[in-house]
Structure 1
Amino acid sequence: MRLPITLLGTALCLTLSAHAQSIDPQKVTFDYVRLPLVPVPAGTHTFQPEVLLRYEDAVKQQKADHQTAVADAKTKAEQAKQEYKAQSFGAKALNRLVLDERKPGEAVIPPADYTAQVYDGKSLASTYVHVSGLQASQGSGDLHVTVSLDGFTQGPITPLAVQGSQVKVGGAALGDGVKHAYEVSYKSPMYVKVAAKDGTVLLDEMIEATNTYTVAKTEAFATEEGLNKYWRTNQNAFMRQLDENLLKSNMKLVTEYLDSKFGQRPVTRNTSIIVISDKKVNYDEYPQAYEKALMGYKMLADPSRATDAQKQIGEAIALWNKALAEANPKDKKARIDEKVMAATLFNAAEANVWLNNFDEAERLLARLKLLDISRYNELAKELSVVVQDQRTRYSANKKS
């Protein structure tokens, strides 16, 4: 009877040993210098910002056309009054009886459509047009950065009927439960052109996100007449607020776009280095690799310490690669079992990114994805995006 008990005890010990394993993601935050997607000529230190309002003449024409329409309406009203006044009393009576023609009233002034707000181009340029690592110049700069605005563009205004609950005041129904509102679509396209001092065009593109219609809704009213009354009074104020909000959000996109394309600045990376430990199994290489990788990552923001950073990160990778060499994902009792292997693959993939070993990083991520462990699938997906972005930036600057 003692033999089975001994075997059972051994099995329990193995089980406890397996479950004593600790896989601990240590959160890490560090800065690295993000390279530009579009390299600038050597010796580039300044840029001249400019914002062009390409729609300004169209706004002036729109206002002039409305003024003309108002003047025409007043002229026609005055002519109608004079013609009526020139008629004889009998003619007036006959026309009123036969044609139901009344005394002409005042001119019906045509409503003015909303006109896009004309902003101060110089103010926009100084507030939003920036390139990290370069100094803005009031005169001629090493780069000429031009942001062109087509202005607030109004799309369809669509009536909406939304089914709601009955609206009652003092027991009296004010509507049939249907609410009436307007849905307004609008956009404000923007373009960016960057040229070097010698006239070479480095970039000339529309920012696609600014050419997509945004949709806004007015407040809802119990009756169509209530909606129309609100719109007659508040249309310009409603549209002006949309115009101003869209300008700010789109100009921020311009800032981010220029920074991504041409800026060179420290960017913060939030990730994890996974440390393995066990009370009965030796995983000493994992805290060692953690310390080396962490030291290397923290040096990435200082180009003068690039060699030291590479050395520390490279030594961490060597420790993780040695562990991967003995990986046995099918054996739950193995020191480097499936879960430890997954954690190690992730650590090594992240580290290879910062040595610009992008092929190796992708190879390790491919192995990680094959394990199909849910907790690592999202990590691998996010890191894949970083790998692609870093590869693109590195390749662009290596060619230059």
Structure 2
Amino acid sequence: MRLPFTLLGAASLLTVTAYGQSIDAQKVTFDYVRLPMIPVPAGSHSYQAEVVLRYEEAVKQQKADHLSAVAEAKIKAEKDKQEYKALSLKDKALNRLLLDERKPGAAVIPTADYTAQVYDAKTLAATYVNVSGFQRAAGPTADLRITVTTDGFTLGPIAPAEVKSNTQVKLAGVSTGDGVKHLYEVSYKSPISVKVSTKDGAVLLDELIEATNTYTVGKTEAFGNPDGLAKFWAANQNAFLRQLDENSMKANMKLVADYLDSKLGQRVITRNTSIIVVSDKKVNYDEYPQAYEKALMGYKGLGDPARIADAQKQINEAIALWNKALSESNPKDKKARIDEKVTAATLYNDAEANLWLNNFDEADRLLARLKLLDISRYNTMANELGAVVQDQRVRFNANKKS
């Protein structure tokens, strides 16, 4: 009776032993250059990066309006004092008696609303606006002009919320059940858009990054009563919002970096996968270690342009060995040399190899055959590989002309 597979993740070591038969997923790591989603004009090697803080003037105006409101409050307070001083003792007494008007106090200074932090645009551009495979340049000589525009920290609803506490609340020694803690849920976002154009003015990309335009909810510390929450908020509102502001900007600028690299970059990506090798003490599976060696050497050459031709030759030879084995496939016969499990292993190997020769239709066909076998661990591996196939197909097709 055959033992079941043990799968430690889609790309981890997979070993099956049935009598003398062994099916081992050998871990493989290699690098390849990921093509951009948007091809750039031939000969493009440099880019100029700029970050525009579209909200900066609004922040200045908000601060100016608050200063103006403070000045008006002080002027009004001083005017009220002078008018009160000019009243006779009789009028002062009547006003106090009939209108409950007393001596004016100090100016009531209006509370300032939170103002979005104004970051250093040059630092943001230097830190986050990078494109793999291109050199940063300044001025009109750059092949690409990248403009990242941020609308700044934008507050949404600030709503009170309650959470159950694990602490028992007691009144006069009598338990009243689980207590309730009070907090604020603060909605916020920091929308960012990206525009990329050539030095001739042709626009390659002009999009709002949707993930940055979606509200995130931050939660304050929870307090045992509403008064505690109110005191905390009065003393710490600006500091709390400033931390959300900074976290949001950092997270969203990292999204920008990944977005630009995916759309335009030629990044070296490390692929972690497996090549499955079959062996048996009584049955000849010599083509599997041979194919493993050829595929391994082929994959290792994918990241070096000088080795691409030889890499493709090695991968093709591995595919030929696996295809020959698949010609004997008989999944319904447990005694067949290429039984169900060996067929599944071979289909996976074959699909991965075809992917790196840009034979996307063939890779999809092989993965479809693999899924029809309905072996759960291979379904997981097939789904992961299928996502890579689709991504590579889109990138390859986008770069055909260039």
TM-score between the two structures when normalised by the length of structure 1? 0.92
Structure 1 unaligned residues grouped into runs of 5+: 1-10
State the AA in 1 paired with 2:133.
G
Give the SS at the match of 2:399: helix
Cα distance per residue 1:52-75 (max 9 Å; x no partner): 111000101111111121122222
Give the SS at the match of 1:273: strand
Cα distance per residue 1:140-174 (max 9 Å; x no partner): 2011011111111111111112232346899899x
Of 118-127 and 77-86, more deviation after overlay is shown by 77-86
Cα distance per residue 1:99-137 (max 9 Å; x no partner): 222222111111111101111111111111111111001
Aligned counterpart, 2:393: 391
Cα distance change of structure 1 residues 169 and 260 upon mapping to structure 2, 3 Å threshold: farther
Aligned counterpart, 1:232: 234
Q: Pick from 316, 339, 362: which aligns with 1:314? A: 316
Q: Pick from 273, 279, 285: which aligns with 1:277? A: 279
Aligned counterpart, 1:376: 378
Give the SS at the match of 1:282: coil
Aligned counterpart, 2:35: 35
Q: Distance in 2 between matches of 1:101 and 1:171?
A: 48
Aligned counterpart, 1:4: none
Q: Distance in 1 between matches of 2:106 and 2:224?
A: 32
Give the SS at the match of 2:104: coil
Alignment of 1:178-217 (within 5 A): 178-217=180-219
Structure 2 unaligned residues grouped into runs of 5+: 3-16
Q: Distance in 2 between matches of 1:368 and 1:388?
A: 17
Cα distance change of structure 1 residues 282 and 266 upon mapping to structure 2, 3 Å threshold: same
Give the SS at the match of 1:177: strand
Q: Distance in 2 between matches of 1:160 and 1:27?
A: 49
Cα distance per residue 1:276-322 (max 9 Å; x no partner): 11111111111010000000000000011111011100010011011
State the AA in 2 paired with 1:368.
L
State the AA in 1 paired with 2:195.
K
Q: CA RMSD in A?
A: 2.1
Which protein has the bigger helix share? 1
Cα distance per residue 1:334-375 (max 9 Å; x no partner): 111111101100000000000000000000000011111011
Q: Pick from 337, 361, 386: which aligns with 2:363? A: 361
Aligned counterpart, 2:154: 153
Aligned partners of 1:142 and 1:196 also within 8 Å:
yes
Aligned counterpart, 2:115: 115
Aligned partners of 1:32 and 1:269 also within 8 Å:
yes
Q: Once superposed, which parts of structure 1, at least 4 consecutive aligned residues long, lie more than 3 Å away?
A: 166-173
Aligned partners of 1:18 and 1:333 also within 8 Å:
no
Q: CA deviation at 1:90?
A: 2.1
Aligned counterpart, 1:130: 130
Identity of aligned residues (%): 74
Aligned partners of 1:70 and 1:109 also within 8 Å:
yes
Q: Distance in 1 between matches of 2:376 and 2:200?
A: 53
Aligned counterpart, 1:252: 254
Cα distance change of structure 1 residues 107 and 353 upon mapping to structure 2, 3 Å threshold: same
Cα distance per residue 1:361-393 (max 9 Å; x no partner): 000000011111011011000011100000011
State the AA in 2 paired with 1:341.
T
Q: Distance in 2 between matches of 1:156 and 1:216?
A: 11
Q: Distance in 1 between matches of 2:171 and 2:69?
A: 43
